[in-house]
Structure 1
Amino acid sequence: MTVSPGGGAPTPDAVVFRILGPLQVAGHAGQVRIPPGRQEVILAALLLEANRVVSTDYLVDLIWDDEPPDTARTQVQICVSRLRKLFSSAAIAAAITTRPPGYVLKTEGDLVDAALFARTVADARTLAKQGQLGGAAELLRAAAELWQGDCLSGVSSETLRSKALQLDEERLTATETRIELELDLGRHHQLVGEIQLLVRVHPLRERLRGQLMLALYRSGRQAEALESYRVGRELLVEELGLEPGGELRALESAILAGEVPPPSCPAAGGYGRAVEAAGTDAEPGAGAGAGPGPASEPGPG
């Protein structure tokens, strides 16, 4: 399967390795069972760094933390050998090769769902830069739908979990960017319910709350937009001792003044640009819990 700018949403038919959810491997006859424990941790580590070398020392640390046995490196070699046999028996078009100081899992194309996600987001960015907002939003939605749960859920490694959380953050950032594009396209009525659910799950994420306020306001629900701001501010103050960021405060002022431009306005393009159009000088990106991400700027870029 290929995904090219303007070529429509991707389909994950060619995916063999899934890490955007529980670790799964698909062979020629269906799902391949990866034994839990060491083999699962090693495969997850190699997939997170697909086509890059992962050192044996790192794999040892993942499995045994600071107390590896004398046979640790030998046991890693045995696990890799068993994974190779699984790949071979299932006719999986990928190889784990030895390359000092460790191993590399070589894959091509869209065999790993995380690689497909990254490429789809990049294609969406290209479409957005070309002004094809609808196509970009479609690709971002398809990219986020590659997830089947939390990244690497069920894999027993705190170190890998921290890396998996980075991918989960990229998914949420892609979702925020897609919502921003759809707000630009005037789809505020359809978006309100979805954003409300996301805000319930991520109540301190200011970018989402700003998008909810904007969608509510443009749907003729000004009082609810301001109430969403009030609730968010109280949460930030109570839990973090912080006031909302400048961009969110400026959006509240723009809503109170009735100066938020409609989607068709050239200045409209996410709540940050709506605030800018209202004549404020607020600094964007000051929100607590929103954190910088690979696509955290307005639009997928």
Structure 2
Amino acid sequence: MRFLLLGNLEIYDEDLRLIRLSRTKHRQLLGLLLLRANHAVCIDQLVDGMWPLHPPRFAKGNIKTYVSALRPVVNQAGALIETVPRGYQLTVRTDHVDVLRFEELFQAGVGLGGDHDAPLRAELLQQALGLWRGEAMQDLTADGGPLRDAATRLHEKRIVAIQDLAGLSLLLGRNHEAIDHLRMALSWEPLRERLWRLLMLALYRDGRQAEALSAYREFRTILVENIGLEPSGELRSLHSKILTGDVPLGV
């Protein structure tokens, strides 16, 4: 990978040496172009992305200046910023950008179907999740706007990937792996009942009935204290089955 967005923005040259890019606006502009890599991005979209609230008077001129500064950096990393009608396009190989590679692996992992595909799907999702180094573009989203919106969408896909991988791990009898993935996801999204349901199943199938019951109590406390609701009937039913040792095999 030469361009990394799944964490802080990082750029590497063709010898995989880190390229320093210190100016915030240069980094934001590069992030916007990478998110739409191999597609034209009009200058108005770039202005909205870099100054979502109060663009300066000469914002479009500023962008042209920033693009001139970015071109040698991008070239050093094996890509190209092209001028196109009404904007710019960053042309780059898919396997040089972690976000593009994540999207490919994610779509392949969730797109396959059937139990016979479970090992392959699990491997694809494991590879996709292995690309993450932190929150997406965590050093670029302070101003909100399209960069933060994109980071939120990527975070959602990350959670879906973890959820699907946990389900596949259960199907394949990899209970420990499922527990690890689910604990991590719940540290970010403690109100997601689907994640708690999978965690309860994984713990139970790993011979940890008491921890599975404790997980239900923990989720119920979080739910009641935060939004004043009880767990769904489906989760309460699973809790009862874990109490009696009558847990379904499916996830």
TM-score, normalization: structure 1?
0.74
Residue 60 (structure 2) aligns with: 73
Residue 226 (structure 1) aligns with: 213
**Which of residues 69, 78, 81 in structure 2 aligns to 1:82?**
69
Amino acid at match of 2:81: I
Deviation at 1:193, TM superposition (A): 4.8
Residue 138 (structure 1) aligns with: 123
2:69 equivalent to 1:119: no
SS of 1:104's partner is: strand
SS of 2:95's partner is: coil
* Equivalences for residues 252-267 of structure 1 within 5 A: 252-262=239-249
Change (3 A) 1:242 1:54: farther
Q: Which runs of 4+ in 1 moved over 4 A?
A: none
* Equivalences for residues 168-183 of structure 1 within 5 A: 168-183=155-170
Cα distance in 1 for residues equivalent to 2:178 and 2:234: 21
Change (3 A) 1:130 1:211: closer
- Contact 1:217-1:255 at 8 Å conserved across structures: yes
- Contact 2:163-2:182 at 8 Å conserved across structures: no
Change (3 A) 1:198 1:108: closer
2:134 equivalent to 1:149: yes
Query: Kindly, what percent of the aligned residue pairs are identical?
Result: 40
2:31 equivalent to 1:34: no
Please report the RMSD computed on the Cα atoms of aligned residues, expressed in angstroms: 2.2
Residue 108 (structure 1) aligns with: 93
Amino acid at match of 1:238: E
Cα distance in 2 for residues equivalent to 1:70 and 1:221: 62
Residue 17 (structure 1) aligns with: 3
- Contact 1:62-1:157 at 8 Å conserved across structures: no
Cα distance in 2 for residues equivalent to 1:234 and 1:128: 35
Deviations 1:43-81 (A, max 9, x none): 111111212222212222333344333321111011111
Cα distance in 2 for residues equivalent to 1:21 and 1:165: 13
TM-score, normalization: structure 2?
0.88
Quick check: 173-182 or 195-204, which moved more?
195-204
Deviation at 1:126, TM superposition (A): 5.3
SS of 2:94's partner is: coil
2:144 equivalent to 1:158: yes
- Contact 1:41-1:157 at 8 Å conserved across structures: no
Deviations 1:263-285 (A, max 9, x none): xxxxx2x2xxxxxxxxxxxxxxx
Amino acid at match of 1:248: L
